[in-house]
Amino acid sequence: MRSHQITLNERKKSGIHRFSFLSLLVLSFFLQFALNCKPEKQLSPLAEEGKSIYMANCIACHNVNPKIDGAVGPSVANSSFALLEARMKGEYPAGYTPKRPSAAMTRFNFSESQLKSLEEFLK
Ligand code: HEC
């Protein structure tokens, strides 16, 4: 009789444990969901255009994430218009110290507005 009571009590206890464990699981799931689903940084239309140009022309050498060094090209985040303009001709603005000493980058012929959009995207 006594031992029967103990098992009943134990079952009750483990039931409560299971419940709190489950609710913790559910809670952490929702927490993760809430944290992961922060809306992505909204790009302006100009930056979106720059992103398309970057993805189509630059990521063969530069990283998809401009803040990180790529396989061949260095990080290019926050590049100024002057730097971008010069780079497209294989040059650098006067007085600029290049991140890499090589001269391996392809030349490009982009319009001023395309370069502006690239600059905006890389901000
Ligand atoms: C063929 C590979 C290649 C492609 C494609 C390429 N780059 Fe580069 N880029 C490089 C390399 C390598 C360097 C380092 C200097 C050099 O070797 O010319 C560089 C340097 C740069 C720099 C100067 C970084 C610094 O601060 O010193 C900028 C800005 C840049 N690239 C932007 C771009 C953009 C924007 C595009 C696309 C329109 C692009 N690159 C496409 C290879 C590439």
Residue 29 CA to ligand 1 centre (angstroms): 42
CA 57 – CA 2 distance, rounded (Å): 79
Q: Ligand 1 centroid to 121 CA: how many Å?
A: 15
CA 93 – CA 117 distance, rounded (Å)? 19
Same-domain check for residues 27 and 74: no
Domain that holds residue 95: 45-122
Same domain, 60 and 115: yes
Terminal Cα-to-Cα distance of the chain (whole angstroms): 75
Residue 78 near ligand 1, beta carbon < 6 Å: no
**Residues 68, 28: one domain?**
no
58 and 108 co-located in one domain: yes
Residue with tokens 């970057």: 54
Q: How far apart are the C-alpha atoms of 114 and 58, rounded to whole Å?
A: 13
Render pLDDT for 59-104 as a digit per residue (tens, 0 to 9). Answer: 999 999 999 999 999 999 999 999 999 999 999 999 999 999 999 9
Judgement on whether residues 61 and 18 belong to the same structural domain of the protein: no
The share of the chain scoring above pLDDT 90, in percent, equals 65
Q: Is the beta carbon of 70 within 6 A of some atom in ligand 1?
A: no
Three-state secondary-structure class, residue 64: coil
- Ligand 1 atom showing the smallest separation from residue 75 Cα: 24
CA distance linking residue 118 with residue 62, whole number of Å: 13
Sign of the dihedral through C-alpha 62, 120, 80, 52: positive
Q: Which of 5-19, 29-43, 75-89 has the highest mean pLDDT?
A: 75-89
